[in-house]
Structure 1
Amino acid sequence: MHPFPQKAHNTLSELQADGLYLGTSSWKYPGWLGQLYDEQRYLTRRKFSNARFERECLAEYAETFSSVCVDASYYRFPDPRFLASIHEQVPEDFRFSHKVTDTITTRHFPNLPRHGAHSGKRNPVFLDSAIFLNSFLEPLRPYQDQTGLLILEFTRFRKGDFERGRDFLEMLDRFLAPLPTREWDFAIELRNPSLLRPEYFDLLNRHHVGHVYNHWHRMPPSGEQIDLCPPDQLEAACGMRLLLKPGRAYKEAVESFQPYERIQEERPEARQAALRFLRTSGKKPLKRKAYVYVNNRLEGNSLQTIAALLSQIGKA
């Protein structure tokens, strides 16, 4: 059964009209066939073609949603050909949010093959504004009107990365200073609870940058982050990413929930936090955007999670 009847489509459109974007983390999930995607659209010689599905399904995604979070940009700097290919599939009012490439946001490169000779070493270009502007932002410039939130997701800092939390904030301050933060929507996502302090939120306001309230396994639940600083106390666009149940590792969630065909475990506290975020962000006269992205690894199927949120908003 399709989780998005006409009333749900109407609710998504009403939210978008208020500058509130609700979407998913990425979009290429065969587990959504029969829910969001029509398998018949991706047949080649009467057989389902996964290659065709991955290449073309964004257009069908955009028939329901007006925004998506592009996780691919976290792993490599934006490629002009890739950007052209995704933008040509969506209408002009669609918004792509991007996770900033980890070359900018990782203090120490993890021991992964994709980092090559840099694996396990300190990142020499961590928070390098010039590289960010040239290698990340410049390729996006032709698509500025269709760009949503630019998310600086910092990997969890470990012992020895910084002597004190304020050392990180000083580096972040210097990084943000030359960025065009009033021309684009920027937001910070942290993975160290100890950094969620008044001086951090004050820094965001000084630079007109938002916060990403994240539901992640080693962070306080997103509702508790709202308690620390509600979105209406921040001056810039903000985001929320519902990723994982606190305490549940990513690998465990993948193994438990694939192929993401249905909800397997409801997280009511995450849903309530998302509703609170939308209601707070939608207060008049804020006049700024807010973005909520739901991951399959939260409950098992982000489409059905979003459908449940829409029904609770009271408009669907």
Structure 2
Amino acid sequence: MSLPSVEDRRTAVDAYDFHGVHPHVRFGTASDRYGGWIDQIYPSDQYADRVSTRSRKMGGETFTERRVPIESVRHYFEHFAVLEIDFTFYRPLLEDDDEPGSNYFVLSNYAEHAPENTSFLLKAPQKFFARSLRRNGEFVDNLSFLDAESYVETFHEPALDILGDRLDGIIFQQEYQRVSDSPSPEKNVDQLDDFFGAIPDTPQSHIELRSEHLLQGPYFDWLDARGLGHVFSHWTWLPPLRRQWSLSGERLTAGDDQVVTRLLTPRNMKYAEAYATAHPFEEPVPELSETEQAHDMVLDTTALAFQAEAQNATLNVVANNRAWGNAPDLNRTIAHRILDEVEKQE
């Protein structure tokens, strides 16, 4: 099946339709339901008067978040090919008594309203992959760290029950750790190997370690041997995407040939500052989108797309409002840059 012309693809991209930009790239976002995306992703005639609000305190400020209803996911997938669900990071789907928790019902609501031919990436609960958890303002050891049995019973299996084939991957995100608080890179691999050897191989697992000192050759060798994916994350304390590509040995390791890049925050900018700068997420914010590192992020993501093509893999571009001000516009910028390269090759 031939692709539309580059001109037609650019027209679609400017309407925030990212289907068919490139056969080896899927565009999506980290979370959805943003009221700031009305008239961009969500039709105003259906959602302008159906916005709920909630207050969020951060960095000494209070922000009002505007959200459209979950059923808006059907319109989301008219624009994007994949959706990363983030709320599952904060608690499993089943509670300690094995009864469905609030996240179970929210995810079920997504499943009910999303079209059949769609793809979800879920974040695994931090309960099972964080070495420490914040409790009462302090970090304490996580007693459920790498508890494979509980992970499978309270999250993995119920997630598959809810989403079925639409669950395309699970992202395991681990918090930043100082060298003094971390195991050696070799010990880290040994610990992770026990866990991933005890959980199902499907759907695909993708790992995001936020500590650069753990991203060494033996770690990427292990990912490759196990068929686990490395998440190329543009985040506060991680090196640039091009540096991560070099550290990986210039290889894509996921067994299902899917690659995930998460464009989350500017480097060296903490979450709260990025959030405050990007809020209310309606448009690009120059302090985020017109910097040298933002330019590099776009170029590096574009390069990663063509590396995926060269290795017959598919790149999932997961954009976040905090990286740019508005995630759909970040995807639009990357899509046009990819099409620039396509034109050069023609």
TM-score, length basis structure 2: 0.80
Q: Kindly state the Cα deviation for residue 94 of structure 1 after the two structures are TM-superposed.
A: 0.9
The residue number in structure 2 matching 1:13 is 19
- Which structure exhibits the higher relative contact order, with contacts defined as CA atoms closer than 8 Å and separated by 6 or more residues? 1
Q: How far apart, in 1, do the equivalents of 2:336 and 2:295 lie? A: 13
Q: How far apart, in 1, do the equivalents of 2:91 and 2:242 lie? A: 31
| 1:125-161 CA-partner distances (Å, limit 9, x unpaired) | 1011111111111112232310122111001124554
The residue number in structure 1 matching 2:272 is 251
Q: Which of 92, 101, 105 is matched with 2:125 structurally?
A: 101
Q: Kindly state the Cα deviation for residue 35 of structure 1 after the two structures are TM-superposed.
A: 1.3
SS at match of 2:310: coil
Question: Quick check: which one's strand share is greater?
Answer: 2
Q: How far apart, in 2, do the equivalents of 1:16 and 1:129 lie? A: 37
Structure 2 residue 15 is matched with structure 1 residue 22:
no
| 1:72-105 CA-partner distances (Å, limit 9, x unpaired) | 0101113432222101222222111011100011
Cα distance 1:274–1:163, how it changes in 2: closer, same or farther (>3 A)? Answer: closer
SS at match of 2:92: coil
Q: How far apart, in 1, do the equivalents of 2:13 and 2:330 lie? A: 16
Structure 2 residue 281 is matched with structure 1 residue 260:
yes
| Matched-pair contact (CA < 8 Å) for 1:107–1:161 | no
Cα distance 1:233–1:36, how it changes in 2: closer, same or farther (>3 A)? Answer: closer
Structure 2 gaps, min length 5: 1-9, 54-66, 94-102
The residue number in structure 2 matching 1:295 is 320
| Matched-pair contact (CA < 8 Å) for 1:11–1:310 | no
Q: How far apart, in 1, do the equivalents of 2:207 and 2:307 lie? A: 19
Q: How far apart, in 2, do the equivalents of 1:305 and 1:36 lie? A: 13
Amino acid aligned to 2:273: E
The residue number in structure 1 matching 2:186 is 166
Q: Kindly state the Cα deviation for residue 39 of structure 1 after the two structures are TM-superposed.
A: 2.0
Q: How does 1:8-87 map to 2 (within 5 A)?
A: 12-14=18-20, 18=24, 20-42=25-47, 47-50=49-52, 53-78=68-93, 79-87=103-111
Q: How far apart, in 2, do the equivalents of 1:92 and 1:235 lie? A: 24
| 1:42-95 CA-partner distances (Å, limit 9, x unpaired) | 25xxx4442782332212111111211101010111343222210122222211
Q: How does 1:140-219 map to 2 (within 5 A)?
A: 140-142=159-161, 143-158=163-178, 161-181=181-201, 183-219=202-238
SS at match of 2:242: helix
Cα distance 1:208–1:220, how it changes in 2: closer, same or farther (>3 A)? Answer: same
Amino acid aligned to 1:111: R
Q: Kindly state the Cα deviation for residue 169 of structure 1 after the two structures are TM-superposed.
A: 1.5
| Matched-pair contact (CA < 8 Å) for 2:230–2:254 | no
Q: How far apart, in 1, do the equivalents of 2:321 and 2:140 lie? A: 31
Q: Find runs of 4+ consecutive structure 1 residues off by over 3 angstroms.
A: 7-12, 15-18, 158-163, 230-233
Q: How far apart, in 2, do the equivalents of 1:159 and 1:198 lie? A: 17
The residue number in structure 2 matching 1:116 is none
| Matched-pair contact (CA < 8 Å) for 2:185–2:216 | no
| Matched-pair contact (CA < 8 Å) for 1:104–1:126 | yes
Q: Kindly state the Cα deviation for residue 166 of structure 1 after the two structures are TM-superposed.
A: 2.0
| 1:242-292 CA-partner distances (Å, limit 9, x unpaired) | 1111111110011111001111132111111111111111225x3x44322
| Matched-pair contact (CA < 8 Å) for 1:149–1:186 | yes
- Percent identical among aligned pairs is 24
The residue number in structure 1 matching 2:98 is none
Q: How far apart, in 2, do the equivalents of 1:222 and 1:131 lie? A: 33
Cα distance 1:231–1:65, how it changes in 2: closer, same or farther (>3 A)? Answer: farther
Q: How far apart, in 2, do the equivalents of 1:205 and 1:123 lie? A: 28
Q: Kindly state the Cα deviation for residue 164 of structure 1 after the two structures are TM-superposed.
A: 2.1
| Matched-pair contact (CA < 8 Å) for 1:275–1:309 | yes
| Matched-pair contact (CA < 8 Å) for 2:30–2:83 | yes
Q: How does 1:227-238 map to 2 (within 5 A)?
A: 227-229=246-248, 232-236=251-255, 237-238=258-259
Q: How far apart, in 2, do the equivalents of 1:146 and 1:226 lie? A: 28
Q: How far apart, in 1, do the equivalents of 2:27 and 2:249 lie? A: 18
